Structure 1
Amino acid sequence: MGTITVHEFISLDGVYEDPSWTFEHGFDPRMGETLGAITGAATAILLGRRTYEMFAPAWSTRTAEEDPGAPFFNDTHKYVVASREPSTDWGPSTTLPYSQDAIRGLKESTDGTIYVSGSGTLVRALLRDGLVDDLHLFVYPVARGTGARLFDDGGAPTSLTLKAHDVYDNGVVHLDYGPA
């Protein structure tokens, strides 16, 4: 049975939207090692439709020489949670509607980790439904003030257990949470 592992870049105030703001902090090589370990265990990728449509043009033309993560993103089977087909085609992919049963079925039919990046609406639903096994938050030392937040106002309380943490030289803190 597979597990769902989520990775998010967020600000101190919980904003994950348009993470281009992370560039000003640089990318500590140890962060790459952590992300490599997260994706290294993955045998499938689960994305919301909008994230899939944003990732497709960004990753589909990258080579391993340009970015060591390119083979993972381009060759790994992607499951896209959407009510309609994505507007682009990218590598091996399957579209499925969101339901607890569909996601549980995906977990049951997958050996290894199912990796999720971005996809805030999807991640909020997965957390609400208790389907996330690992939540990796890379918290940047900045408060954005505005933007979509991972934990939005009016959401149900979510209790988690800290499994591990790292602090990087660029001020980013990695927090690995699991179900409480």
Structure 2
Amino acid sequence: MGMIKVHEFTTLDGVVDAPMWTMDYEFSDEFSDAIGQITGTCSGVLLGRTTYEMFAPAWSSRTVEDDPGAPFFNDSPKYVVSGTLEHADWNNSTVIGSYDADRIRELKAQQSGDLYVSGSATLVRALLADGLVDELHLLVYPVAVGTGIRLFPEGGPRTPMTLLGSRGFANGVAQLTYGPATA
């Protein structure tokens, strides 16, 4: 059985949507290697509809020469959680229907490796609520933007977690890795 590893770009004030603010910070080899370490054990990608619709056109035309992560995103099986998307045209993509925790558990159990989730805030919130996230990798950018979708919105449930690791990068970004809270 694989794990579910979530990767989110976030601001100091917790905003995770449309991360255009990342463009102000160098995407160094060190930073690329950190993301590669997250995806390195993954054999599939789990995405919500909105993120899938952003990723498919952005990644499908990229090659390894454009981005070392391109083969992972283009060649790995992709599972799209959506009750409205009828088909997924990006290579190796399957629409698995509306969010269903039991279906995600089955998918997780069937994996030879881990499942990687990026973005997909609505999906990630549901996965967290159902205790399905094994690793939450937050790449925290040193900027507050004031508005936008937050992973942990105001009024959301209390979500205790355990710090698994942390590191800083030369571009000012910090990687914080969390797992389920231990008793």
Q: Same fold (TM over 0.5)?
A: yes
Instruction: Tell me the matched-pair count.
Output: 180
Displacement of 1:2 in angstroms is 1.1
State the alpha-carbon separation in 2 of the partners of residues 18 and 134 from structure 1.
22
Sort the Cα spacing of 1:164 and 1:177 in 2 relative to 1 into closer, same or farther, 3 A. same
Q: Report if aligned partners of 1:16, 1:150 keep a CA contact under 8 Å in 2.
A: yes
What's 1:169 paired with? 170
Q: Does 1:151 align with 2:158?
A: no
What's 1:118 paired with? 119
State the alpha-carbon separation in 2 of the partners of residues 145 and 31 from structure 1.
25
State the alpha-carbon separation in 2 of the partners of residues 95 and 43 from structure 1.
17
**1:7-46 matched pairs, under 5 angstroms:** 7-46=7-46
State the alpha-carbon separation in 1 of the partners of residues 29 and 120 from structure 2.
24
State the alpha-carbon separation in 2 of the partners of residues 2 and 61 from structure 1.
28
State the alpha-carbon separation in 2 of the partners of residues 113 and 160 from structure 1.
20
Q: Report if aligned partners of 2:88, 2:95 keep a CA contact under 8 Å in 1.
A: no
Task: Describe the SS at the equivalent of 2:102.
Answer: helix
TM-score for the superposition, normalised by structure 1: 0.97
Displacement of 1:88 in angstroms is 5.0
State the alpha-carbon separation in 2 of the partners of residues 165 and 30 from structure 1.
14
Task: Describe the SS at the equivalent of 1:63.
Answer: coil
Q: Does 1:66 align with 2:66?
A: yes
Q: Report if aligned partners of 1:53, 1:86 keep a CA contact under 8 Å in 2.
A: no
Cα distance per residue 1:121-164 (max 9 Å; x no partner): 00011011110000000000000100000101111000110011
Displacement of 1:94 in angstroms is 1.3
4+ residue segments displaced more than 6 Å: none
Q: Report if aligned partners of 1:53, 1:88 keep a CA contact under 8 Å in 2.
A: no
Give the aligned CA root-mean-square deviation in angstroms: 1.1
State the alpha-carbon separation in 2 of the partners of residues 79 and 110 from structure 1.
12
For 1:113, give the aligned amino acid.
D
State the alpha-carbon separation in 1 of the partners of residues 120 and 37 from structure 2.
20
Displacement of 1:117 in angstroms is 0.2
